Amino acid sequence: MTLALIILAAGKGTRMRSDLPKVLHPIAGAPLVVHAMEAGKPLSPERCVVVAGHGADLVRKRVLAHDPTAEIVLQTEQLGTAHAVDQARAALEGFEGDAIVLYGDTPFVSAETLGDIQAARASGADVVVLGFEAAVPGKYGRLVVEGDRLARIVEAKDATPAELDITLCNSGVVCADSATLFDLISKVGNDNASGEYYLTDIVDIANADGKRCVAVTCDEAETLGVNSRVDLAAAEAVFQTSRRRQAMEEGATLVAPETVHFAYDTKLGRDVLVEPNVVFGPGVVVEDGVELRAFSHLEGCHVGQGSIVGPYARLRPGSDLAEGVKIGNFVETKNAVLAKGAKVNHLSYIGDASVGAEANIGAGTITCNYDGVLKHHTEIGENAFIGSNSALVAPVKIGARALVGAGSVISRDVPDEALAMTRAKQEVKPGLAAKLRARLLELKASRKK
């Protein structure tokens, strides 16, 4: 079934008390609106239209960075949800297929639930509304169901006492044939206290036109909306709890699950060991059998099978570790490719570099990759050994099986199997230490007087 997503993302989010549009506030490293886009991705939508308003330029930039094929339309006046959806009319002119309306501040509607909505459409329903059983219905609109038909949506303020007892509530998510959706919206009026055009009114209009409306249900947690910083923190907690459980169910060991922080797109293989206080930024792929030791931070990187990272390691974007690589404590890598079995065990920075198979990088080694204007590349060959406290001044190449003596500053290429060493000549003065110490003690005493 051909599908278009319409994502409403025009609200300012006054309760966020922020200059940033509400839908750009992040959960698990991705803006709320990106979560909504990702929810529909497994359904392979042909079109994705995001309705922006407040901070539209910022929203456009972030949405297109995530999906360059997405389309941005503007809602210049906030005149209700039906009016917001109607802003996508021109973009979807001539589109033949279904449209699902999602919300940029409701990040957790699952792909499975959207699949259920599609199934309801395929079974003959003209309009499908997503509902949920609310623990505390409160101010939610109620879905009045008669048999297998959705009769109407009643706002809490307009509901009778009997209708207020209904716990099946409206999430706002709607699906219909695109042409049908916009035809129904064209008939929505604004004769209400707020003077706004409400998407919920299409159910009454559709029923009056003899169309079939049905409700599909999901867990209440999927409909969690974010309207404040408190809501944002609660949503983050919901995501992290769910993702931790998923990781463990899929074969990863989390030693202290409550301390591990996932990004929205983190991918872990089987038999991965994650020690306490590991943080994943966006874009991390970890293969089978990896050990991620405590207090490590990973972002935009790939960790090959059987590698060991940390503790206290930082893998920055562009880090690509092959099988069996060892990255030790207080090591930082960035835009670095490390081949099978390479070792950087402690206190080093490897940036804009390639490290050959089985190469060993000694403690305190740094690749000097930045000259203040441009970045430069360092190449370290297979089985090379870099002595501790060395500085490799890029651009530079260290050949295969070459040795670099500890404490060296290397600014020229080192051929394969060569030894390179740069040190000042060491001098030893017998007895001078005792004389110098005595002189310094005398100076200290005189200063005290």
CB atoms within 10 A of CB 313: 26
| Tens of pLDDT, residues 371-381 | 999 999 999 99
Confidence check: pLDDT of 425 > 80: yes
83 is catalytic: no
Average pLDDT of span 90-111: 96
Residue stretches of the annotated binding site for Mg(2+): 105, 227
The pLDDT value recorded for residue 156 is: 87
Of the pLDDT bands very low, low, confident and very high (cuts 50, 70, 90), residue 177 is: very high
Contacts of 408 (CB under 8 A, 6+ apart): 387, 390, 391, 420, 421, 422, 423
Residue stretches of the annotated binding site for acetyl-CoA: 363, 369-370, 388, 406, 423
Q: What is the CATH number of domain 3-223?
A: 3.90.550.10
The pLDDT value recorded for residue 380 is: 98
Average pLDDT of span 422-437: 93
- Could you tell me if 187 and 206 are in contact, meaning their C-beta atoms sit under 8 angstroms apart? no
pTM summary value: 0.89
| Closest by Cα among 337, 340, 341 to 367 | 337
The pLDDT value recorded for residue 431 is: 95
Average pLDDT of span 245-274: 98
Q: Which of 25, 261, 302, 346 is catalytic?
A: 346
Measured CA distances, 96 to 46, 47, 49, 181, 436 (Å): 10, 11, 15, 12, 90
| Tens of pLDDT, residues 127-157 | 999 999 999 999 999 999 999 999 999 988 8
Architecture of domain 251-420: 3 Solenoid (2.160)
Confidence check: pLDDT of 168 > 90: yes
Measured CA distances, 14 to 17, 20, 84, 211, 223 (Å): 6, 10, 18, 38, 20
How far from chain centre, in Å, is Cα 327? 24
The residue type found at 102 is L
The β-bridge relationship of strands 3-9 and 142-146 is unpaired
Average pLDDT of span 363-369: 98
The pLDDT value recorded for residue 400 is: 98
Confidence check: pLDDT of 256 > 80: yes
Give the residue range(s) of CATH 3.90.550.10 domains in the chain: 3-223
High-pLDDT (> 90) share of the chain, %: 94
Confidence check: pLDDT of 281 > 90: yes
Contacts of 160 (CB under 8 A, 6+ apart): none
Helices (H) and strands (E) in the chain, counts: 9, 35
Q: How far apart are CA 52 and CA 78, in angstroms?
A: 10
Burial of 27 (0-12, 13-18, 19+ CB in 10 A): buried
Confidence check: pLDDT of 1 > 80: no
Q: How far apart are CA 268 and CA 444, in angstroms?
A: 60
Mean pLDDT of the chain: 96
Give the residue range(s) of CATH 2.160.10.10 domains in the chain: 251-420
In the DSSP assignment, the letter for residue 51 is E
Confidence check: pLDDT of 193 > 80: no
The pLDDT value recorded for residue 265 is: 96
The pLDDT value recorded for residue 270 is: 97
Confidence check: pLDDT of 93 > 90: yes
High-pLDDT (> 70) share of the chain, %: 100
Q: How far apart are CA 250 and CA 272, in angstroms?
A: 10
The pLDDT value recorded for residue 155 is: 87
Torsion over CA: 80, 82, 86, 88 (sign): positive
- Could you tell me if 237 and 224 are in contact, meaning their C-beta atoms sit under 8 angstroms apart? no
The pLDDT value recorded for residue 424 is: 87
Residue stretches of the annotated binding site: 8-11, 22, 75, 80-81, 103-105, 141, 155, 170, 227, 316, 334, 349, 360, 363, 369-370, 388, 406, 423
